Structure formats: C-alpha cells, structure tokens
Structure 1
Amino acid sequence: MHQFSFVRKAALSAALLGFLAGGAQAQTKVKTKSSAGKTKTTAPAAAKGQTGTGISLANLDRSVDPCTDFYQFANGNWLKNNPIPGSETSWGGFNELRARNRGVARRILEKAAADRTAKPGSNMQKVGDFYAAAMDSVAIEKAGLKYLQPRLNKINAIQDLAGIQSYLADPKNIGKGWYGLGVSQDSKNSSVYAVQMRQGGLTLPDRDYYLKEDARSKTIRAAYRNYQVNLFKLLGDDQATAEKNADAVTRLETRMAKASRERVALRDREKNYNKMTVDQVAAAYPNLNIPLRLQQSGLASAKEIIVGQPEFLKEASAMLKEEPIADQKQYLRWHLVEAVTAALPKAFVDEEFRFSQVLTGAKQPQPRWRRAFAATDGALGEAFGQIYVDEDFSPAAKARAKQMVENLRVAYAERIQATEWMSAATKAEALKKLNAFVVKIGYPDKWKDYSALNISRESALNNLFAAADWGTKDNLSKFGKPIDRTVWGMTPPTVNAYYNASLNEIVFPAGILQPPFYDPKADDAVNYGGIGAVIGHEMTHGFDDQGRKVDSQGNLRDWWAKEDGEKFVTKAAVVGKQFDAFTPIDSLHVNGNLTMGENLADLGGLTIAYQAFMKTPQAKAAKSVDGFTPQQRFFLGWAQVWRTNMRPESLRQQIQTDPHSPGQYRTNGPLQNMQEFHEAFGCKDGSKMVRSTADRAKIW
C-alpha cells in the first residue's frame, strides 16, 4: 500500500494518546535583468480588479525567478511568515489542513464526551467514553501502574523458552516485538487471505539508527538509552538495574537490526514474497514455535505462510534460544511499556517526549486533546468517522471528486495509448488495469462493526488494550473468509490518500478533500493542480516500479513484454538519478531508490492531471486570473500543496526513513522534466527549472 504522504510509532502507539475559475487578458511576461546580467522571467503583479480563489498571492515571493526555483517563487513568503509551532516537527499545507480537521473533530469529541445519555454500546457512547478517559489526567495519575501491572506480572512469571514462546503466541499480548504476524491478501493470489510473517522488533525508526557511527546516530542512541533507563526506573528499577536492563534491550535490538533488511530492499515485492508450508516454517525457525502461535491465533487450519524476510526470522529463532531469558523478559517488558506510554502517568509521557525532542526536534509536547483525538481516531476511527462525515463532508464534494477521478482515468488511457515505447500487448494490459481501478472517496460504504469492543470511562489504558485486542481479532478473523473489498486503510478525517495494490484501488479520505488540495470555490486549474495531481499520483502507483508488477486483479504477476519492462526500468532510473542528486541538508542526499515509487507517482500524477485539466473550459478559454494563465495556476496549485517548514532533525529522519522526498523536491523535481511547465512560465534552456533534453525524464 502506497501512501501519498507521511505522518514515530507503529500503528498501536499512534493509536494511543500519543499526497495531498478566468479573467479578461492573456498573461504577459515581464523581462528584467538579474544581477548577473541574464534575462530573467517573472510573473506580473495581479491585474487590477481581478480576484482569484485557491491561490494566495501573499504567499508568493516575486523576487524569485519561477524558472530558477519554482518552489520558492510559489511559497517563499509563506515559508518566511509561518514558523513551525513549538509542538510540531514541521509546518505546511498538510499541517494546516490537519489542524483544520482536528478543530472539527475536537468539537464533535467534546460534545460526545459531555453526553452521558448515549445508548450503551452505541458508537457515540464508545467514542465519547474513549475520548473522556483519554482526557482524564487525574484518573490516569491516580491509577498509576494499576492496569499495567497484571501484564508486567505475566512477563515476570516467565521462566524459560517455553514461557517466552507462550507469551509471543498469545494474541492478547501487545508490544511483543521480535517479529510481525498477521493476515492479509496473498500477493500472488489476491482472492484469498494468507498468513504473513515479517521482520520487526525495533523501537528506533530504522535499522541504521542502531548501526551507524556518525555523531547524529550516536546522539540519538544516547538519548534512547536515557529514555530506556528512566522508563525502567519509573517501573520500579533502581539506577543500576535500569541501566543493565536498558543495555540488554539495546543489545537485542541491535542484533535484530543487523539481520533486518534495509528500507530499499523492503520495497521489492518479489523478494519479500517467500511462501512456505507451516511445516517448513516450523523447521526453519524452530524456536518461534509457530504451530503454537497459529493455534492460539485461531489460524490452526493454515497450511502455508508467506515469509517476508527469511534471514531475519532465522536470526530471531536463534536469538530466542541463545539469549538469556532474563534479558528477553526485559525486552518484552520494554516493548509493553513503550507501546503505551501515552496512556500512563505524566512522568512516562514526559520521558517519551524528551526522547522525541532529540529524534524529531519538537520543542514542546502536543496538548492532551490532540493526543486524545489521535488515540480515538486510531482505536475507533470508523465509529468516529461516521459522526465526522455527517458534519464535515458533503455529497456534492464527493460527487465532484468522483468526476475528477473519471476525467483523469480518461486522460491516463490517452497517455498510455499515445506512449511510443510500449508494445500493443503491454498497452492492452495497462489499460485493463487502469479500467479496473476501484475508487473510494470520502468514507466507507460499509462501516466497521465495533459491537464486540467494550469501552468505558474507567481507564484510558484498558481502553487501549481493549481496542488493540479487538483490532487483532478483527485481522485474524479474516483468514478463510472471502476478501472484504469494502475495507479502508485510513480513517475519514485523514489528510492523505493511498493505492492498495492487492485490491487495485485508489482511496481518498474526506480529510484530504479540503483546501489546499481541493477547494469547491476555486477554479479548475487550482483543483487539478492539487487534488487532481493527488488522484493522478495514486493512479500512477499502479504503474510505478513496484505497482507495475501487479496485474488488474491485484496479483503479483509480470504482465509486461520483456523489452517494455526493460525500457521502463531505464526510464525510471533517470528519475532515481535526478533525486539522488538532491541534497536537502548538509551532505545528506535524497535516496532515489527509496523514494522511487513516490517520485514516479508525482511525475505521472502531474502529467495526467495536466492532460485532464487541458480538457476543461477554463483551460480552453485561456483567460488569466490574478495575472496568471490557467496553466500557470495549475502549477501554482501543485506547488502550494508542498509548502513546508521542517526542523532539521525531522528532515534528517524523513530522508533516512521515508519513501517520500522533501516538499521542495516534490515540487521542483517533476516540473524540471515537464515541457508544459517550461512553456507556461517561459523558461528557457539553461534555467535551473529546465533539464536538458538528454537528462529529462518522461514515462507517460
């Protein structure tokens, strides 16, 4: 599943408190001289009496030549005038929209929490009580470790390897680490669910954080150790014991890190598909006691398991036998408490924030209501989502977005058919896949049933445990059942979008169908440059370097003629090389291989959205608004989506771990390849925003 954008913890912890109308005269260009004496192209000031929506002229920095740095031209003044709030690690268009959506959500949640008359067992009761318990700091402080202690006692009672195996096998135990096991579609047979196993077990964002010896990595590891020691002390350990336990956990995690695949390798769908029989898995990784785990998880009927990273599981099995049980117990203890810090007393929350300050650069914690909202959305996303969309998402918005999707589908088909480097047979398969895309907009047609989930106001921590248990059961229960094609991987308020390869679907939650991505009051140029490019982005994920390996039915299958596939790889490598050369901070380069899928999706999405936009009445009328032609407004719409100020620490983490490139490169990178952009702004050969023909990337 590819996400359009990005938001430190795994799904459970994120569930705790804890992408993306005309005037009278044609544009004229104003020629000025730069200090170097070269001719420079700038956009004129707005014509008198013309007013547009969707583009804020105040955000532009007209001192910058759009053909030199379009990102700065489009966003420079916004970047200067919008410092990062203390509780944020970055601030941009995504953040502004998330803040807007959270404001709506907060009103709904506070109303639900104040309503003590909601029918017991109803979604309103569960949402209200979950949020109220998360907000009740007095009760959380008073409870202390009361609701955590039984689980700590369970770990403490472990005596041997069999005890470790039994603990890992129990689906009710959370924060287990070691490896991941769950149920999802079989990548090569998307009509059935399969048991899947994968690497896991690390606390830090990536394996390299444990292994690199640069100063920044050492600083983070020192902060991590301090975080571990202080949490162990809060659990009752003395200083010496806490230090010993922290060192044991880090030693185990470092051994796991050495066996873990790098992020680029984790993108390779074929290498991460290794189907084995249960007997083969049991023999290959004997100390994991997989038969016991399957039995305890209600998966005893499973005959096969798809193993993601065999070499990691081999090491995990060896570790379970070789590492002292006492150290393994501390590892389990750490992963339990670290997973739920946000629902524990303030001292735990404060320690987690001190570590995140070093990791992300945040200056102050988020307010409790923000954390409580995130927890509610994570645990009861569709129960809350039903209430949210009733208040904040109109049928008209859904209908217009749906029409844009179909307009882009037509444009994409035209681009595929006009492609000179693909054979007729490969084109036919590509069109078949394009036409099979399922489109989901706003919210699910079928909502999740939370009737088996009990939520009360007694304990925020118990609510988390209950929600985690419900989520695990919901996932495991899918095995052996028909594929549920109604499921959503994001909740309605989410400012994001995604492509799911196995379901061959593109999904756009209600949360992203707002400015700056989509504005009902704005002209088509801005909307096609915003949400239109987002739609094209997600469509292109079906044809990026990994998505292209999946057919129209969602199966991992090579449907490309050999020569066509080789041509694609060559064309994609041009994009990879371009992004490898970008250096956002110090000597740290963007990783063109890690970000390949997202970069291809941006280039493809913009190309398709522009093609679709050029069919609109606004594009055909060619009338300017605020001194900008429709084509220029399209590209401004794209650029404003990516305006972002980011803390250096957070930027470093993104470059190292995120498959998305930083915003300025997501803006400028694709545009440097697009003749349509060069013509719109009169950019000449030799300009920084114009790549030479030999170095230009073009796929669709």
Structure 2
Amino acid sequence: CMDSNCIVLAAAVLSSLDATRDPCEDFYGFVNGGWMNEHPIPADKGRYGHFDEVALKNRMIIRQILEQNPSLVPSPDSQTLTKLQNLYASCMDEDHLDSLGIQPLLQVVNTVRGLFNGSTTVVDASHGSQHALSIAPHRGLTAALSYIHSRGIDALFEFIIEGDVGVDPNAMTLWFYQPGFGLPSKEYFEDKDIVDKYTSTLERFFAALNENSEENVQYWPPFPWPPWGGDDDDKKPQYKTPAELAKAVVEFEGKIAIATLDLDRLQQDPFGTYNPVNARNISESIPQVDFPGYWSSFTPRAFPDRIIVTYPPYLESLSSLLSNTSDDVIEGYLIARVTQSLAEYLGQETEIWKANRELVELLTGIKKGAVGDRAEYCATKVTNTLGFASGRFFVQEAFGGESRSKATRVITDIVDAFKHSLSGVDWMDTTSAEAAAEK
C-alpha cells in the first residue's frame, strides 16, 4: 500500500519501536520503547497510553466545535450546539465556581438529609418465625437512595440495565450489582496508610459541610439527633464529631467491601454472576429498602418481575449491616458518597475540592499540585454528559467524505477474513464452523 495514509501509519509504527532492544530479551520494550520515550506520562495523569492519545485528539476536535461561533440562523442543530456550548462555558467559568463555594453541593447534601431523616433502617426478627419481620417505616432510606442513584451516584448497591445473556441478549433486564467504593477496590481497605488518608478526607468533607451549613454546630450530625420523633426517641442520641463519624463511615464501608465479590470473579465469571431471581426475592432479602417504591421513582413503563443478581450472598450481608449500623453512620455514608462523587465539580479553592484532590493524587500517582488543562477537562465533561448531541457534531467534523464507506469496508473485510479462517480450524467441525460464521 503506497497510499499516503498507509505511509503515515507505517512511519508511526516504526517510530514506536526501540531497535536498540533485543526483541528476544525484551519484546515489550522493543515494540513500545520508542513510543514510551516520546510520550512520558503527563504530570496530571496517573496513566497514559495509545488510547489516551487518541482520546486527546478527539477532545481537541470537540473543543474546536464548542469554541466556535454558533450559527445566527435558528435550527435544531444550532439550538443543540448552543446547549453544548453553554455547558462548556459554565464549566470553564472558574471564577463563578469559586464564588459559589460549596453551596451547590450543600443543596444536594441537604436534600439527601431531608429524604433520609424520614425513617429508620432497623429490622427486628419477630417472635415465632425467622421470616416474619417487623419493619419500621423505611421510606427515608429508599427515597434517599432513589435520589442519589438517579444522579448517577452508586451507594449500597447499583442497578444496571443489560441484556439477559442466559435467555435473550437483546432483552434488556435489570442486573443487581454491588456498589463501588470511595477507594478503587476492596483491597485498598487493607492498606492502613490509604485508609487513614481516606478517613481524613471524609473528616474534611464533614467538617466543611458542617461549617457551611445553616446550623453551624460543634458536632456532626447537627444537634438534635435523631431529628425525627416516634420510636427513635427512645434511642440514646449519638453525637459524633467529623473525625468520629468519618472513622465510623470508613469502617462501615470496609464491611460492605468485605461482603462484596472480588472484581476478578465479578468480571470474569459469567456463570457464577448470572443468578436470575424473582423481584420479590430482592425485597425479602433487603427489607430495609422499599424496592417497589424505589423502582416507582424512576417511572418505569413496567415493573421488573425478574432480576439478575451478580452475587446473591451480598444481599443478606447488606441487610445485616443495615440492621446493625446506626442511622447517623448510614446517613454519613450516603453523604460521603455524594460529596466524593461531586467534589471535582466544585471550585478549586474550596476545602472539599482540595481534600478530594489530595486523595486522588495518592490513589493515582498524579504529581502533587499538577492540574491538567481546564478546557480538556470541560470538553470531556460535555461529551460524558451530552454524548449523543456532541457526537453528532464530532462525526460531522471528523468523518466527512467517504469515511463511512471506508470504515464499513474495513469492518466487512475483517468479518470476511474471520469467516474464511474458520474453515482451517482443526478442532472445529463443519457444523460448528458454519454456526460460528453465521453468529
């Protein structure tokens, strides 16, 4: 191939090699050494590879689109572009973000508090039957979880809509997943230094939220606690400083982590993580959450009757944890998940942004104080938030002319080559090869 694109691609491949290394001794270094020498990891990133370079080039195209002057002629496209540009401009306006402080976050946190404080999460086994439960009102936890999950923040558990691989991959089904954590994985909770840093980060979160709340008090949660009446009045109030609450929340989250399935099995065991159950089983396993009410909050067209659980033992473990954990710790956990998830959107002068950034630097290896290009960050947030809308303009800009037909031809050639190779597979009979080709 002597096409100009082929020549450029061949040159790029050759420049990625490091001919000074012996491929028999260091094949990885031989293949990638040249590229690695030309592309050191940026100070504001914890990793960098070929796909990161491609993503950066794509974001440059998005930036050009977002920074161009919108058309003066009103049209659906111009209106969509204006929305994209408004989102981008709001992200770029750091002075305004700094002037707002943590007030936008406080609005979300106060909403979570208000929703949660309507009930208790204690479940007691009644006498005479181990299955009969006396459940106090649980609308508060359910409402708080619905609100948090609707904003893309997972806590306690997560539902994902995916194909039912055991019946029909095209049939979209609810999958019940274990939650993510404030740390990258459950193993991090075994590292004392990291846990100490995580705990101090949550302490700074709670202290900053308390300092900026309308009721500035010495303890967290604010006095009086619990704030609702009913049976909880008989409970001994629990007053916790930010440090005490942070420690309790991390211990609670650590117990959740222990109860979850290891990531290697979760991601690589398709049979062990495929456990279809009746939706009623979820409600019975975790009675502290009103799942019919939870699902109703997302206004589904039809209520689910079949749910696939990735790790059934986690349901019982979570229920036990909720029953044996005080309400202030559960509320603190929910607020910690919200704060950590939204911290990056605050102004960089806020205490919460700084605390979260220090934790991120420790966990990812980013150089301390190294902040990347704001425009690149904001372009990423636009594509993450309004991906389909921004994708339309990206395709128009990046894939003009015969790009579609060329890409289709490449894909078709790959499929044809794969089908042809099946006939030469010794361990596959003719019937299996034909079935594989059709699939």
The reply to whether TM is greater than 0.5 is yes
Give 1:432's aligned residue: 438
Give 1:64's aligned residue: 21
Give 1:589's aligned residue: none
Q: How far 1:127 sits from its partner (Å)?
A: 0.3
2:217 is aligned with 1:260: no
2:378 is aligned with 1:377: no
Which aligned pairs between 1:146-185 and structure 2 lie closer than 5 A? 146-157=103-114, 158=117, 159-161=119-121, 162=138, 163-170=140-147, 172=150, 175-185=153-163
Q: Tell me the SS of whatever aligns to 1:177.
A: coil
The alignment-based identity, stated in percent, is 23
Whole-Å separation in 1 of the counterparts to 2:53 and 2:28: 18
Whole-Å separation in 2 of the counterparts to 1:58 and 1:415: 31
Q: How far 1:201 sits from its partner (Å)?
A: 4.3
Give 1:367's aligned residue: 373
Residues 516-565 of structure 1, C-alpha deviation per residue, up to 9 Å, x if partnerless? xxxxxxxxxxxxxxxxxxxxxxxxxxxxxxxxxxxxxxxxxxxxxxxxxx
Q: How far 1:241 sits from its partner (Å)?
A: 2.0
Q: How far 1:149 sits from its partner (Å)?
A: 2.6
1:72–1:301 CA distance, 2 compared to 1 (3 A): closer
Q: Tell me the SS of whatever aligns to 1:111.
A: coil
* Of 197, 200, 206, the match for 2:179: 200
Q: Tell me the SS of whatever aligns to 1:89.
A: coil
Whole-Å separation in 2 of the counterparts to 1:153 and 1:303: 34
Residues 130-152 of structure 1, C-alpha deviation per residue, up to 9 Å, x if partnerless? 11111111221222233333332
* Of 55, 64, 74, the match for 1:98: 55
2:32 is aligned with 1:75: yes
Give 1:190's aligned residue: 169
Give 2:207's aligned residue: 233
TM-score by length of 2: 0.79
Residues 16-51 of structure 1, C-alpha deviation per residue, up to 9 Å, x if partnerless? xxxxx369xxxxxxxxxxxxxxxxxxxxxxxxxxx9
Whole-Å separation in 2 of the counterparts to 1:176 and 1:61: 44
Give 1:280's aligned residue: 281
Contact kept? 1:115, 1:128, Cα under 8 Å: no
Give 1:416's aligned residue: 422
Q: How far 1:242 sits from its partner (Å)?
A: 2.0
1:173–1:128 CA distance, 2 compared to 1 (3 A): closer
Contact kept? 2:157, 2:179, Cα under 8 Å: yes
Counterpart AA for 1:189: D
Contact kept? 1:175, 1:332, Cα under 8 Å: no
Query: Bigger shift: 194-203 or 87-96?
Result: 87-96
1:83–1:111 CA distance, 2 compared to 1 (3 A): same
Whole-Å separation in 2 of the counterparts to 1:117 and 1:334: 46
Residues 419-443 of structure 1, C-alpha deviation per residue, up to 9 Å, x if partnerless? 111233332321221xxxxxxxxxx
Contact kept? 2:282, 2:315, Cα under 8 Å: no
Q: How far 1:197 sits from its partner (Å)?
A: 1.3
Matched residues, number: 380
Q: Tell me the SS of whatever aligns to 1:53.
A: helix
Whole-Å separation in 2 of the counterparts to 1:219 and 1:394: 52
Q: How far 1:336 sits from its partner (Å)?
A: 1.1
Q: Tell me the SS of whatever aligns to 2:307.
A: strand
1:76–1:329 CA distance, 2 compared to 1 (3 A): same
Whole-Å separation in 2 of the counterparts to 1:61 and 1:183: 45
Q: How far 1:403 sits from its partner (Å)?
A: 1.3
Contact kept? 1:174, 1:336, Cα under 8 Å: no
Whole-Å separation in 2 of the counterparts to 1:261 and 1:79: 35
Q: How far 1:172 sits from its partner (Å)?
A: 4.0
Q: Tell me the SS of whatever aligns to 2:241.
A: helix
Q: Tell me the SS of whatever aligns to 1:183.
A: strand
Whole-Å separation in 1 of the counterparts to 2:320 and 2:180: 14
Give 2:89's aligned residue: 132
Contact kept? 2:157, 2:177, Cα under 8 Å: yes
Whole-Å separation in 2 of the counterparts to 1:255 and 1:305: 25
1:396–1:219 CA distance, 2 compared to 1 (3 A): farther
Q: Tell me the SS of whatever aligns to 1:287.
A: coil
Whole-Å separation in 2 of the counterparts to 1:176 and 1:82: 35
Q: Tell me the SS of whatever aligns to 1:297.
A: coil
1:375–1:280 CA distance, 2 compared to 1 (3 A): same
1:396–1:69 CA distance, 2 compared to 1 (3 A): farther
Whole-Å separation in 1 of the counterparts to 2:276 and 2:110: 37
Whole-Å separation in 2 of the counterparts to 1:119 and 1:252: 52
Whole-Å separation in 1 of the counterparts to 2:180 and 2:59: 32
Whole-Å separation in 2 of the counterparts to 1:269 and 1:418: 29
Give 1:297's aligned residue: 298
Q: How far 1:288 sits from its partner (Å)?
A: 2.5
1:233–1:174 CA distance, 2 compared to 1 (3 A): farther
Contact kept? 2:105, 2:342, Cα under 8 Å: no
Counterpart AA for 2:278: T
Give 2:361's aligned residue: 357
Q: How far 1:97 sits from its partner (Å)?
A: 2.3
Which aligned pairs between 1:456-471 and structure 2 lie closer than 5 A? none
Contact kept? 1:176, 1:332, Cα under 8 Å: no
Q: Tell me the SS of whatever aligns to 1:73.
A: helix
Contact kept? 2:199, 2:247, Cα under 8 Å: yes
Q: Tell me the SS of whatever aligns to 1:286.
A: coil
Whole-Å separation in 2 of the counterparts to 1:52 and 1:282: 61
Q: How far 1:116 sits from its partner (Å)?
A: 9.1
Whole-Å separation in 1 of the counterparts to 2:393 and 2:43: 30
Residues 145-198 of structure 1, C-alpha deviation per residue, up to 9 Å, x if partnerless? 333333322333314222112322346455350001243322222343222211
Give 2:224's aligned residue: none
Whole-Å separation in 1 of the counterparts to 2:177 and 2:296: 18
Counterpart AA for 1:180: E
Which aligned pairs between 1:292-691 and structure 2 lie closer than 5 A? 292-299=293-300, 301-346=303-348, 347=350, 348-363=352-367, 364-433=370-439
Residues 437-492 of structure 1, C-alpha deviation per residue, up to 9 Å, x if partnerless? xxxxxxxxxxxxxxxxxxxxxxxxxxxxxxxxxxxxxxxxxxxxxxxxxxxxxxxx
Residues 301-320 of structure 1, C-alpha deviation per residue, up to 9 Å, x if partnerless? 32222222111122122222
Whole-Å separation in 2 of the counterparts to 1:302 and 1:78: 50
Q: How far 1:124 sits from its partner (Å)?
A: 1.0
Contact kept? 1:179, 1:200, Cα under 8 Å: yes
More helix per residue: 1 or 2? Answer: 2
Contact kept? 1:105, 1:388, Cα under 8 Å: yes
Counterpart AA for 1:53: V
Give the gaps of 5 or more residues in structure 1. 1-20, 24-50, 434-700
1:141–1:308 CA distance, 2 compared to 1 (3 A): same
Residues 621-670 of structure 1, C-alpha deviation per residue, up to 9 Å, x if partnerless? xxxxxxxxxxxxxxxxxxxxxxxxxxxxxxxxxxxxxxxxxxxxxxxxxx
Contact kept? 1:198, 1:309, Cα under 8 Å: yes
Contact kept? 2:154, 2:179, Cα under 8 Å: no
1:323–1:410 CA distance, 2 compared to 1 (3 A): same
